[in-house]
């Protein structure tokens, strides 16, 4: 597991909690926390409340509290490099924000089924293996994501299918 990226997520989540946001840790770092296995995480994917229409809404208005999130990231020395992707960088770390409210339509993951986790005083959500499987299966049908990730999600899907079907 990439403890450095997870620790950075906890610092960001702490600041988000302070403005009333409980973030969802997505992507490989979240999957590493859930499985205890390294997935060679390249970045941090954090989902926060926003417009459930996702890409259909202008990027500057699609995420609720976007101005506050931008300010938080700036105070943590992150630079916004792509508004459309809601992507920030600092040194060699990229942090991208997504919209938690798109999960039901995108992958059939109901928000009320998410489990809250705590690290000290910090609250955040994590998907369970079955929910991760739904997300990665839905993502694998997205040609842009498949091209960008060189189909590396297929190994995650296989692992999650085996893990969830062996229960």
Q: Per-residue confidence at 67, pLDDT binned at 50, 70, 90?
A: very high
The CATH number of domain 3-128 is 1.10.10: no
> Does the structure show a pLDDT above 60 at 104?
yes
Taking the whole predicted model, whether its pTM rises above 0.85 is answered as: yes
pLDDT band at 149 (very low <50, low <70, confident <90, very high): low
Contact 30, 38 (CB under 8 A): no
pLDDT(146) > 60:
no
Give the model's pLDDT for residue 140. Answer: 83
pLDDT at 24: 98
Q: How far is the C-alpha of 83 from the C-alpha of 64, rounded, in Å?
A: 14
Residue-level pLDDT at 1: 67
pLDDT of residue 100: 98
Q: Where are the domains of the chain?
A: 3-128
The string of DSSP letters for 69-91 reads: HHHHHHHTT-EEEETTTTEEEET
pLDDT in tens, 116-125: 999 999 999 9
**The predicted structure's pLDDT at residue 111:** 97
Torsion of CA 113, 16, 149, 42, to 10 degrees: -120
Task: Specify the pLDDT at position 145.
Answer: 47
Flag whether pLDDT at 150 surpasses 70: no
């Amino acid at each position: 597991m990439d403890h450095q990226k997870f620790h950075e997520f906890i610092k960001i989540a702490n600041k988000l909690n302070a403005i009333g946001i409980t973030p969802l840790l997505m992507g490989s770092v979240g999957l590493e926390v859930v499985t205890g296995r390294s997935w060679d995480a390249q970045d941090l994917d954090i989902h926060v409340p926003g417009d459930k229409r996702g890409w259909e809404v202008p990027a500057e208005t699609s995420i609720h509290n976007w101005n506050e999130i931008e300010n938080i990231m700036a105070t943590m020395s992150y630079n916004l490099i792509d508004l459309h992707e809601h992507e920030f960088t600092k040194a060699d770390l990229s942090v991208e924000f997504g919209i938690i409210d798109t999960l039901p339509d995108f992958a059939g993951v109901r928000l009320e089924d998410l489990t809250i986790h705590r690290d000290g005083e910090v609250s955040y959500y994590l998907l369970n293996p079955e929910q991760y499987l739904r997300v990665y299966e839905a993502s694998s049908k997205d040609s842009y994501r498949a091209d960008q990730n060189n189909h590396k999600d297929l190994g995650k899907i296989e692992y999650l299918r085996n893990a969830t079907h062996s229960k």
